[in-house]
Structure 1
Amino acid sequence: MNKFFEEIEKLLYLTRNYGVDNYIKRGGNKDEINPYEFCKFSNFGFKKAQLKVLELLRKEAEVKMEIKSNLSEERLKKAKDQLKIKQIQTDLKLSEMREGLLRHVIDSIAWQIYGGKREIMGRYYMEEEGATSITDEGFEATLALANKINADPTKFALITDLTENIQIGDLHVWSPKGIDIIEVKTGEKNRIAIELFGFYDTNNLNPTECIERIDDAKMRKQMQRMQSQKEKMKKTKRILNKDSGEYQKNPESRVEIHESHFQQETYHSKILALIEKSKEKGWAYESIGAIVNVGVYRDNWRFGAGKEALLESNRGYQIIDIRECTGFTIGEPLLCKPFPDKIIMDIIKGNIIIYIGVDLQRVIDFGNDIGGSMRWSTKKELHDMKTTSPLKGREIISHNNRGVIMAESKNGKAFMGGGFICRLVFDHLHPWIEIANRVHTYQNEIEDEE
């Protein structure tokens, strides 16, 4: 793993510091930054990192395939060596961890080009599971176009198949003028499909009805897939342009993008102070607003004792390892946190463990103290919500088979979801302000309904 961590450290530099360092080395004025000149250097770092990640992902795919093959062979043996099977399973988990961390590098680039606006990035995530191919003909066409675009030093074409969280568009092309989204289509069938869609548009024909009348089943399926992509793109643009619109995957649900009513604050500085303090005893703890509990652990405190102590402080509610943000879809990436590179690498390697928990009862209490109407749901209410919600059941936060209802009106109940917890645990937003923003937003929505 040491060699792998060395690669991650190099990628960390390319995505965080390469642009600034080389802009200044080439005579750039750090007090009055020229954005067009600066972006050339930062883009170069992004491009180099993206190609390196692709190279490492392809190598890891080969390693993973070999591990799976070994596991299958071992399981087929009559006299199974359980110890060897467990070792191979561990190797597989490590391979998946490496793959996830490499994709997290690209997620950190996406976070930067979108300015950390998770509400916008969330519109490009469709909850679709399963990795896409990074070796097939379609990907090679996307890579070729990305390389062509990236020949322009002022542009950076992000390949979305390398990310964990962008599922609309094949390329997101950043330049000082903004971001363009490109779908890459190859092959004869795609060429015919594009021409057909052009014909439908020119003649004001309903594409859904026209596609249903196509005799060739494969062509019809291809057209339906492309039509679905076009509809998702159209809905996404509508949401981003108007701050609201129909949810891309469910016409019965709507998406609303809200600006913060109160100026956001983070507790990044408190985490850094705890990291420094933990050098004394091997651990350090602080409660943020009596709602979010943070523990930092070193040495032997990393192995169970620290976690148990924080779980008790958090009154039994779930605590989360900060490294889990590498597998969370939309949130501040570990590689983007305002921490020194060495600290980030210590966290990645497990030399420093940071656990964060949210006391759900105190979220409810504080929300109600400032004018909200939060409460625990019944088991039935939680079951009904998981059954009918367009979100996956695991996205709804629960404890002992009850969820947290943050607001309710004649149009239904708003349950606490993973996005809220993510903002507190992974984005490190101050809980008082985040709860106040939610309460204010819900109150405005209820008033609008009335």
Structure 2
Amino acid sequence: MGKKKRKVKYDVTETLRFKLFSPEYEELTKDLYASACKGTEHLWDKINGPEDLRSDTQLKKDFYEAANNGMKSAQDGIIAIIQSKDKLDYPKELLLRGIADAIAWQILGGQLCHARRFFKSGNQPDLYNCNLDSVVYASKENHKKNPRSISLISDLTSFIQVGDLLVCDPEKGITIAEVKEGAMNAKIFGFMEFYMKSKCDRAFYYFAQQEGDKAVKQLKRIIRQESRMSYVTTVLATGQGVDPDTSEKINIPEPYFEIQSWDERLVKTLDKADEKGWAIDVIDGCVFLGVYASEHMLMSGHVIFNSWFDSSGGTPDCPRALLIDSMLHPLALPVFSRNLPEKHMFDVLFGRKQVCMAICIESLLKQCEKAGLSVRFATNKERGRLDKTGNRPYRHKGEAIFIGNGKAEFALMDGIFLRVMFHGQSPISLIISMIEGTDEII
């Protein structure tokens, strides 16, 4: 599996072309996955639901300790690979980051609204050029102080871009830690501590005079980092905050309403493909799904899927993706985090199954209207205002689309497609919940 490519023009024979990771990485990936995601397996038969963990203090303690120890073991395995003499190729790096992402999603409870606060849209540091050794040391020291916690190294993931460590403590919850490294950083943090106590604005002038421009730039960078960490921590705790980079106001509504998932339908389709070599399904009348498992279908299944989708109302601009593409998108759930049997996960990753997905926009809008929602094109003024925000809406037939319920409405954004295809959320259930204010709009 190669690097993510720029969007290219639709081609029935090239779009959704077969992808896989090298089979040589499968056993390693299985071992890391078992540690990262199945550390509590020996306790599963004791847990019938969330209430069991709430009511049984010892079971809850054992569960968190086992989960965190498993995740720590997986992280140690990833670090050992990076620190070995062998240079990582890109596919192997993707798999390792996917495992680290699976740990992060567990810590964040699978909540995309929280994960987005950590992602700043840039590339993660190169694993060989970041301050990995010092952060590894800090992570291990944290574990010595509190063996029941997990300190996930942010740079190992594809989307945690705030803080050096994402720390999850069963008693204290989630915190963000920055590793203070180097003599200059020590000076800067000492100065910041002094300023917070003294509130002396003149101190900045004296600091600049004494330490020079380079130190001032470093000070500004650290202040930005501290501001981002404070913002993310506040949002995690209260659901509200103001993004220091964009000034965007964030408000995550407190009531929790579960959005329907189509993962069960995906599992059934994967099972059917095991029986006859291929299988198809349509979710909510607009999400087209094709699974190809037999040897002769693996290489040509995408052509069959594209042709079927095109004949069913799909257009070249409709969103299309492979399930394995989730390993390329920072805010997508990696395959390891989807609610799938382990066999199917590794079949998808290592080329024994190919899963094609597409959303027919025309059908999606019709299904919204059937559900009692209003659908309209944006006015020129609305379109211009949306474009100025930087969050450009999806365009259908060249037009932005608003979907509403008579009381509220929102513009259709690409983020909805990410959630449908790579988080397994049913589109109509998702859209209704967003309009009713039970989730933030992407």
Residue pair 2:253, 2:438 contacting (<8 A) in 1 also: no
1:286 matched to 2:281? The reply is yes
Structure number having the greater helix percentage: 1
Q: TM-score, normalised by structure 1?
A: 0.79
Matches within 5 A, 1:112-131: 112-129=106-123, 131=124
Larger deviation: 366-375 or 149-158? 366-375
Relative distance call for 1:109 and 1:202 in structure 2 (3 A) is same
Aligned with 1:231: secondary structure? helix
Distance in 2 between residues matched to 1:116 and 1:282, nearest whole Å: 32
2:249 aligned with 1:228: no
Kindly report which structure 2 residues correspond to 1:46-85, keeping only aligned pairs within 5 A, or say none: 46-58=71-83, 62-63=87-88
SS at 2:109 equivalent: coil
Secondary structure in 2 aligned to 1:441? coil
* 1:111–1:333 Cα contact (<8 Å) kept: no
Residue 157 of structure 1 contacts residue 174 of structure 1 at CA under 8 Å; is this kept in 2?
yes
- Note the C-alpha offset of 1:237: 2.9
Q: Which residue does 1:109 correspond to in 2?
A: 103
Deviation at 1:197, TM superposition (A): 0.6
Counterpart check, 1:149 vs 2:162: no
Unaligned ranges ≥5, structure 2: 1-21, 54-58
> What is the correspondence of 1:379-398 to structure 2 with a 5 Å cutoff?
385-386=386-387, 388-391=388-391, 396-398=393-395
**Over residues 215-270 of structure 1, what are the superposed CA-to-partner deviations in whole Å (9 max), with x where a residue is unaligned?**
6111011001001111112222333333232223212x222213567542211111
CA contact (8 A) 2:319 2:358 kept: yes
Paired amino acid for 2:280: Y
1:329-358: CA deviations, max 9, x gaps?
A: 223321022222111000101211111212
Change (3 A) 1:144 1:376: same
Instruction: Give the distance between the partners of 2:334 and 2:203, measured in 1 at CA.
Output: 39
**Structure 2 letter corresponding to 1:361:** E
TM-score (norm 2): 0.81
SS of corresponding position for 1:374:
strand
Which residue in the other structure is 2:402 paired with? Answer: 405
Percent of aligned positions that are identical: 21
**Corresponding residue number in structure 2 for 1:351:** 352
Alignment equivalent of 1:170, drawn from 134, 145, 164: 164
Structure 1 residue 272 and structure 2 residue 272: aligned?
A: no
Aligned residues: 402
Return 5+ residue gaps in structure 1 as ranges. 64-94, 446-450
Q: CA offsets per residue over residues 15-39 of structure 1, 9 Å max, x none?
A: 2223323x58xxx955666121222
Cα pair distance change 1:264/1:202, threshold 3 Å: same
- What is the match of residue 43 of structure 1? 68
Whether 1:239 aligns to 2:235 is yes
SS of 2:217 mapped into structure 1: helix
Higher relative contact order (CA 8 A, sep 6+): 2
CA distance 1:147–1:377, change in 2 (3 Å): same
CA RMSD of aligned residues (A): 3.3
Residue aligning to 1:311: 309
Contact 1:104 1:163 in 2 (8 A): yes
